[in-house]
Amino acid sequence: MPRTRYPKYIRDPGVALLSFAEIARGADVSSDPHFPESLMMPPRVIHGTTAMRAWTHKQRELGLRIALVPTMGALHDGHLALARKAAELADRVVVSIFVNPTQFGPEEDFDAYPRTLDEDRACLEREGCCDVVFAPSVSEMYPMGENLTWVTVDRMGEQLCGAVRPGHFRGVTTVVAKLFAIVHPEVAVFGLKDAQQFFILRRMTREMGFGTEVVGLPTVREPDGLALSSRNRYLTPEERAAAPGLYRALEEAKVSVVAGGERDARSIVTGVISGLTVIPECRMDYVQLVDTDDLQPIGTLEPGQRVLLALAAFFGKARLIDNVIIEVPPI
């Protein structure tokens, strides 16, 4: 069944405003004469930071709450789930689409990363839960050319992906700080597929005093368990068939902790590695178990502890990440 296409919030002066977000929460506009079919519009696309700030200022003048969903585009159902959640939490929803060069290493896929703005805008229009697509250029986000100002979170970016992608999280935290400064959202929604990113950004937001609530949404998966990712499009049919083995290995490890009583971190990681070695086409990058508070490695799991078991692996040219968050049962 196709999703409802919600009207844009165009109304006469002096009449209370409704947005995609409000309608997505159930506001009834079926008999509202201010919403004729001619006013059915796609999300507005804003490219400039000045225009984005002006739009944000106007919403704040109206007393409206803004949610931000930062993305690099090539949207899939996982991104749309974030936008839908944002629409539940705020009056206005901004989805940013920006392939951020500072989070890519010199040998990574920045140039090849898919850029599909027209398709992404159409996708958000069909979904009906976005008011503005903020799609800045590199020169808008980094106006001085060479960037000399960085936001960093000590230690939390040194493990997991940070250990094999030096500088990656410095780029992530810097660009998200810039987005927060431009959009001034009351809430920002991120997917927990990038769990390390989520925990780092939550820490950054709290310590920097941005006043933004950082919300994490569980990973959206295909029916066979593969985490949705823009990089899945790189997979060959054979690689796509093998890739769900990543999640199976993680889930087996989680069961060993929750139901089997395993508490030794090395044994847990070794079990995942053994599961990966039998997956066709898979070339392991890392497997690691860390505490969710500081993302530091642990030796023995403690009762009531919350831990992150994460991995990255290559299937051909596609580097895929996945994880499970494990609540260690109390004694």
Cα 181 to Cα 298: distance, rounded to the nearest angstrom: 35
Q: How far is the CA of 67 from the CAs of 58, 94, 97, 208, in angstroms?
A: 15, 6, 14, 18
Question: Under a CB-based contact definition with an 8 Å cutoff, are residues 130 and 8 in contact?
Answer: no
Report phi then psi at 188, rounded to 5.
Answer: -130, 135
Residue 77: alpha-carbon gap to chain centroid = 12
For residue 79, indicate whether it is catalytic.
yes
Dihedral-angle region of residue 100 (phi above 0 means left; psi in -120 to 50 means alpha; beta otherwise): beta
Cα 129 to Cα 25: distance, rounded to the nearest angstrom: 10
Q: Say which of 47, 57, 76, 79 is annotated catalytic.
A: 79
Long-range contacts of 264-269 (CB under 8 A, 24+ apart): 264/299, 264/300, 264/301, 265/289, 265/297, 265/298, 265/299, 265/300, 265/301, 266/299, 268/301, 268/309, 269/309
Question: CA torsion angle for 302, 304, 305, 306 (degrees, to 10)?
Answer: 150
- With b for 16 or more beta-carbon neighbours within 10 A and e for fewer, the 125-163 pattern comes to bebbbbbbbbbbeeebbbeeeeeeeebebeebbebbbbe
Beta strands 187-191; 213-217: pairing state: parallel
- Annotated active-site positions, please? 79
